[in-house]
Amino acid sequence: MNLQQETWRIFQIMAEFVEGFEELSNIKPSVTIFGSARFAPEHPYYQLAEQIARELSNAGFSIVTGGGPGIMEAANKGAFEGRSQSIGLNVTLPHEQKLNPYQDISLNFNHFFVRKVMLVKYASAYVILPGGFGTLDELSEVLTLVQNNKGQQVPIIFVQKSFWDGLLNWFKDTLVANKTIKPEDLNLITVVDTAKEVVETIFECNYSAT
């Protein structure tokens, strides 16, 4: 890629940021939901994500996802059926990503990092359902931003204790033990199993939808 192409790429990146800021700055309060693109509608995690999103939507929170299949589709579907907005922030990927149909607002990004900024910037809480490398990347970003006061101090909620136990034990037994994080950093995370607990956790942290 030559210098002229690189220069134009800067303007393309700026345009994506501008569109994202303009579209999303007025959707507060919102909750961003992360999770795997690989779960089918009959999977319990898909159904749980749909229930969580519907209850949050009916409680007054817009729902933001990556706009693709799996957990993202489930969350958009639950929000779409609720009373608040369903937002999908889509990006073109070689394999898994395809636009799901349950979106009141749909934005498309060519640059992964711009999309990640938009996923985290306006959220009043982050809900992390089971997922793979992409979900791990997103939750690591969220934890780092909140830990270092570079993001809002909002709830970070891991859903399904049985799925996350191994990672959380590694945080404690390896990261804390080797002093690469502080013990109190683990307090950034709340672990729950049900949709009701997700909603209660958000309201207990004084992030209301009013």
pLDDT in tens, 26-79: 888 999 999 999 999 999 999 999 999 999 999 999 999 999 999 999 999 999
> Please, which pLDDT band fits residue 207 given cuts at 50, 70 and 90?
low
Domain that holds residue 115: 3-204
Q: Considering the domain boundaries, does residue 197 fall inside one?
A: yes
Q: What pLDDT is recorded for position 100?
A: 93
Asked if residue 27 belongs to a domain, the reply is: yes
CATH number at residue 103: 3.40.50.450
Q: Is residue 116 part of a domain?
A: yes
Is residue 105 very low, low, confident or very high in pLDDT (cuts 50, 70, 90)?
very high
C-alpha span between 84 and 24 (Å, rounded): 14
Rounded to whole angstroms, the Cα distance separating 187 from 176 reads 12
82: phi then psi, degrees, rounded to nearest 5: -90, -165
Q: Is residue 209 part of a domain?
A: no
Say how many domains are in the chain.
1
* 210 lies in some domain: no
Q: Write down the pTM of the prediction.
A: 0.92
